[in-house]
Chains A and B, each alone.
Chain A
């Protein structure tokens, strides 16, 4: 006992005194800052476009832009490899057209790859959170500034951006925390040269069995996340103003001038090339067979093929835990629905409590509390779940609700972040007016708050849905093997050798993409009378 305590102490001393921790922390922070910056740089113009204009293909682009968010890291790494790697489409095309012998673009294992992947993953957060808020912001405020002599840029800088601040901060915080705790992207695309805290925690736990150091690193990471969230809570109090929000239909119009069309074209091209092409490259690979693998006996015809998809439904190894894709899809969708319901049931009152009393201790404690699952690694979360729910009185280990519960915990920060800015922007006068007309607090919530934030509820539901679809770290630990979700099934395929399994993984990833995009479009279409319009 004494020895182990000594051990812990020496580890702590080692960690704190050496520059080792500082180096990792420094890299973790600056890559997250840069990634967040670029994500906002790409996401904000996109949010503006989605918020203010209607154009053909908008719904599809919106749905596609949230697909990256659910993709397992391994698959994303593969997607980028398929596009930009040494044997990726772009290098192949460049080599053949420029007659080069070596691939001209070096992408994998660079900091560039990490940044691009982070932007790829998280742009949808900015698009959804800021875009939704922006779509309800009264454009007359900016127009008023213009009549007072402000040019477009000044109106944006002095009026629109300050008003958007709560949503921008919300999005930036989430993006930053995601980049800060990034794991798969760093591991797969960054290679051994780069390590964030989360990656180091993984190394220390899995490779070196240095659990005390891993625990210290986890605590440092949690501490950073908490500090950040507390700062955010303080900051957002200063920048939130009640606004009169207007239905989107009043604020959106078609692209009218050539200038508008040109800007829209540029923004859409950037979004498509960044968010959609890797996905396209991936799905193209799932339909393409390249060279036969060494040692493979069958004759293989390179070219287009559906083999990978056909193979998915065949249980060649007679595995007990085999699940055909239709089962995995059904399981994933079921969990996703349950997560949407659970996280909204928890998130709505939490967001409301927070916004109704910004200065109360409730808000100061609740907000950082709900951010904790984000700051801790998914693996830790999964382990925690197993420990907490395996014994009475919470014997949920075998319950089908366990996975939706875990997903809800991960989704809750997003759900609250999506709802809070809208709740905050409801004029207190409207609630008071309802009260004086005889509405009790619950009726005020039902008849005033809820319809006014209906759009945000849909956005929050979308987040819960996508997070549940894509969640892997916690699921893989607690899912029962005979009921795998799609990401778990993909992981199993990637874990097995051979081009056939790899191809199947790509095929299943493509299916995950399609399911996600379809789900997204369906949620987007959800309208309850004209309530959804708001």
Chain B
């Protein structure tokens, strides 16, 4: 059974459309990440779910019941803010205990629960610390402990790692997943960082300009982006425009680097997404391409090369130990179209779609 469902939410601020018909569902114990560029309506979505803002149209349901008449403090939803919003006049303990005190939990139980929460986020011994003296990572954990302490039915996290450096972010994202799973917490996680979303979430929703672009598990979304926007947003930039025409045995797609015969449900203007990691140097693929190697850069596990094929620059990743020719020389590669090339409809649904 779904815990949270949103159906057709609309919200407009001064002629700016923040939400343009958003529907989604979160299952019990599930972590759903809402992923999208800044300004795509993610924060508005959280505010509406929390009850801090009212939608212009649409419904917020919890276990099938509408929350329209439930004020924020009765929803039992935790919200962890991007800037943490720690109460500056309360110390760490008092911040974490706040939600419990609101529920009039006896002070001994509160004490115990706060200690448990601080232990969960590795901050035992920080009870008396002034929140104004905490480092970014510590403040983030206090905020998490504070939102978890009252045992919310749903925990919403608004870019909780946004203010932290990469290293800390990676570590905390992994920790956060462990914590959320350990307590079987239903959670909605909002971020613009795909790595964070993929690390944390069971399922990901990609939003753009107030709409849902695609929903799926991280693997599904990464392996099969549903739109040009999603492909670009995930950093998949080997994109090639083409024209698809039906033929007797399938579809033929004409592009600047040649004509390919590929299965496609779309016709007319399409975009081909070519997976950089699927190219081969040993000639074992079915489709052969040759071009001039223009640049190569070492990226740790892979070596990325830029190849000009008919003046179109495409990037591919190879094993760094593979025999890669020098810059400026000819290079032949091969691909298996069914695993390396995906046809995406070019027309974008969201209107102003790109994140560039």
Seen from chain A, the residues whose Cβ lies within 8 Å of a Cβ on chain B are 244-247, 250, 427, 429-430, 432-441, 443, 447-448, 451-452, 530-531, 534
* Contact residues in B for A432 (Cβ distance below 8 Å): 47, 50, 52, 72, 79, 81, 85
- The size of the chain B interface, using a CB distance under 8 A, is 29
* Contact residues in B for A429 (Cβ distance below 8 Å): 81, 83, 85
In the bound assembly, the distance between CA atoms of A438 and B77 in angstroms comes to 8
For residue B59, CB closer than 8 A to chain A, the reply is no
Would A447 and B98 count as touching, CB distance under 8 A? yes
* Contact residues in A for B99 (Cβ distance below 8 Å): 437-438
In the bound assembly, the distance between CA atoms of A359 and B128 in angstroms comes to 40
Can you identify 19 A-B contacts, CB atoms within 8 angstroms?
A246-B88, A250-B132, A429-B81, A430-B87, A432-B79, A432-B85, A433-B81, A435-B52, A436-B79, A436-B147, A437-B73, A437-B98, A437-B146, A437-B147, A438-B73, A438-B76, A438-B102, A440-B102, A448-B87
In the bound assembly, the distance between CA atoms of A439 and B51 in angstroms comes to 13
Cross-interface CB contact of A438 among B85, B89, B90, B103, cutoff 8 Å: B103
In the bound assembly, the distance between CA atoms of A244 and B74 in angstroms comes to 27
Nearest Cβ on chain A to B297's Cβ, whole angstroms? 35
Q: What per-residue 1/0 map shows which CB atoms of B34-69 lie under 8 Å from chain A?
A: 000000000000010011100000000000000000
Would A244 and B78 count as touching, CB distance under 8 A? no
- The list of the 5 closest CB pairs from A to B, nearest first, reads A437-B99, A438-B102, A433-B85, A435-B72, A436-B79
* Contact residues in A for B160 (Cβ distance below 8 Å): none
Closest to A433 in B: B85
In the bound assembly, the distance between CA atoms of A247 and B79 in angstroms comes to 25
* Contact residues in A for B146 (Cβ distance below 8 Å): 437
Nearest Cβ on chain A to B107's Cβ, whole angstroms? 15
In the bound assembly, the distance between CA atoms of A395 and B72 in angstroms comes to 44
In the bound assembly, the distance between CA atoms of A427 and B76 in angstroms comes to 22
Cross-interface CB contact of B77 among A246, A436, A441, A452, cutoff 8 Å: A436
* Contact residues in A for B85 (Cβ distance below 8 Å): 427, 429-430, 432-433
In the bound assembly, the distance between CA atoms of A105 and B307 in angstroms comes to 92
Would B50 and A436 count as touching, CB distance under 8 A? yes
Closest to A531 in B: B89
Given known A433-B79, A436-B50, contact A247–B72 (CB-CB < 8 A): no
In the bound assembly, the distance between CA atoms of A85 and B77 in angstroms comes to 71
Closest to A426 in B: B88
For residue B150, CB closer than 8 A to chain A, the reply is yes
Given contacts A437-B99, A439-B98, list 10 more A-B pairs with CB under 8 A: A247-B88, A433-B81, A434-B87, A434-B98, A436-B52, A436-B72, A438-B102, A440-B71, A448-B87, A534-B88
* Contact residues in A for B83 (Cβ distance below 8 Å): 429
Would A443 and B102 count as touching, CB distance under 8 A? yes
In the bound assembly, the distance between CA atoms of A438 and B102 in angstroms comes to 6
